[in-house]
Amino acid sequence: MASILERAFYSRGGQAVAGKLGLPEPPVLRRGRVLPAEPVVLASLAGSTLAADTLAQLGVVATSPLPDDGAELPAYPERIGAVVVDACGLREIGQLEGLRAVLRPAVRALAASGRVVLLADADVEGVEANAVRQALDGINRTVGKELRRGATANLVYVQPGTTAADLASTFSFLLEGRSAFVDGQSWTVGAALRDAGSSLAGSSGTVGPEPVPEEDREERAIRHEGQPMPLANRIVVVTGAARGIGAQIATVAARDGATVVCVDIPSAGESLAALANQLHGTALQLDITAPDAGERIAAHVASRYGADARIHGIVHNAGITRDKLLANTDAQRWGQVLAVNLAAELRINPVLLDGRPGGLAEDGRIVGIASTSGIAGNRGQANYAASKAGVVGLVRAEAPELAGRGITVNAVAPGFIETDMTAKIPFVQREVFRRTNSLGQGGQPVDVAETIGYFLDPASGGVTGQVVRVCGQNLVGQ
């Protein structure tokens, strides 16, 4: 139940006072599989057609930009829903002027919950080219902080050989409301991975990734209307699924067509069973720190769905906090957090990867949950920060090892998310946490779930080794 102070703050009079104090009411964010209703503007700064080809594949008809040419500042005749700028091929500092010229009029015309999407080369040669590459990141982060009314800016780096089919799921995610709380971020997309012929039981990870043939990529590419259930006929395991973010992850996976295995501790059995029944999935009561947790997950999948069944995605969502200043943290508090948040994932993954019935499929997806606390650190959370930073390290190390099997490994890093746990934080402190990001509000569990859904998508085979913050561009961290 909201406190008296909180009810007063969110009353009409309280919001009027808050606005005068520089604390405006947060904008309502566009969420879900909803593209902008307004026109999408597309600009290519160096002749690349990758962004144009990707938008065409998604069925998005883009309009031409109205760049600032130094004379009278042009104005769009109506609000625009997004501006997509293809900066692939930029190698000289002087070329960045083209980006300024496109963005200046466009950001003025952005609609509420509008999108700025930048595209750039991941691998460039030469000092100046690398300076330009990094400059784009600085521009992206700054634009994210300057936008208003729930608009966001993000940057996608593309590796050589990336095609429109490889990029389609990423553009779809960024343009739709699914990316509502992802702002000021950058990550890399490459050519989709494929099974390089390594055996399930003995892959050493030494086999490099091979591009999927163009005709196969076309089949995998997500289309806004043509593939509303990308996880159909796929099994997704979600740990810590009984409530909060975990329940929302399971719900979004089921919405996208997955058969969901909901995993949580026995004490949460009642709510776990209720959720699994609601989603037409199955429930597995399990302490993930148990030595045989991986074996039990695989056995459950094989027994419920057949010996030939395989897991197509596992989301390691289960996590705990035991907050204390490091000076007051004993071995028990330290060990509990690391055991649940990190060691369990390190123990479960190899079991599911060894080729057993009910294990992870080739072309499978592994998704971890990091945190802005792990990226930036947080007072009183040394154990939690260690565990979540460890997830980042796991993702970056395991992704190249599994690339030859077509398996992707990624993580989300949530910021302040509105959950039952964060609702227990004192109101004033909670309101400060809500306001310390570019969107001026806390995120919702669905925001984390939608980003995970993007990672789980079969069309996201070129996204691996990435950590995407779901934090509204929190003011701390990278």
On whether residue 31 sits in a domain, the answer given is yes
Q: Which two tokens stand for residue 56?
A: 């065409």
Contact indicator for 181, 151 with CB cutoff of 8 Å: no
Contact indicator for 455, 178 with CB cutoff of 8 Å: no
In which domain, by residue range, is 331 found?
214-470
β partners of residue 43? 85
By CB neighbour count within 10 A (0-12 exposed, 13-18 middle, 19+ buried), where does 209 fall?
buried
On whether residue 198 sits in a domain, the answer given is no
Distance CA 243, CA 368 (A): 17
β partners of residue 469? 413
- The conformation of residue 358, written as its DSSP 8-state character, comes to T
On whether residue 200 sits in a domain, the answer given is no
Contact indicator for 361, 461 with CB cutoff of 8 Å: no
Q: Spell out the per-residue pLDDT of the chain, length 478, in tens.
A: 455 444 544 445 445 544 555 567 899 999 999 999 999 999 999 999 999 999 999 999 999 999 998 888 999 999 999 999 999 999 999 999 999 999 999 999 999 999 999 999 999 999 999 999 999 999 999 999 999 999 999 999 999 999 999 999 999 999 999 999 999 999 999 999 864 333 222 333 322 333 444 444 444 343 334 457 999 999 999 999 999 999 999 999 999 999 999 999 999 999 999 999 999 999 999 999 999 999 999 999 999 999 999 999 999 999 999 999 999 999 999 999 999 999 999 999 999 999 999 999 999 999 999 999 889 888 999 999 999 999 999 999 999 999 999 999 999 999 999 988 777 767 677 777 778 889 999 999 999 999 999 999 999 999 999 999 999 999 876 6
Q: Residue 12's pLDDT is what? A: 56
Do 175 and 234 share a structural domain? no
Distance CA 141, CA 87 (A): 16
The pTM for the full model equals: 0.89
β partners of residue 282? 261
Q: Residue 197's pLDDT is what? A: 33
On whether residue 133 sits in a domain, the answer given is yes
Do 280 and 227 share a structural domain? yes
Helices 445-456 & 244-255, crossing angle to 10 degrees? 50
Do 452 and 380 share a structural domain? yes
Contact indicator for 363, 235 with CB cutoff of 8 Å: no
Distance CA 229, CA 255 (A): 7
Do 251 and 183 share a structural domain? no
Contact indicator for 404, 203 with CB cutoff of 8 Å: yes
Q: Residue 253's pLDDT is what? A: 98
Do 302 and 164 share a structural domain? no
Q: Residue 193's pLDDT is what? A: 83
What's the domain count of the chain? 2
Q: Would you name the residues annotated as active-site residues?
A: 384
Q: Which two tokens stand for residue 367?
A: 């998704």
β partners of residue 239? 263
Name the residue with tokens 């989300």: 412
On whether residue 126 sits in a domain, the answer given is yes
From first CA to last CA, the distance across the chain in angstroms is 35
| CATH number for the domain that contains residue 381 | 3.40.50.720
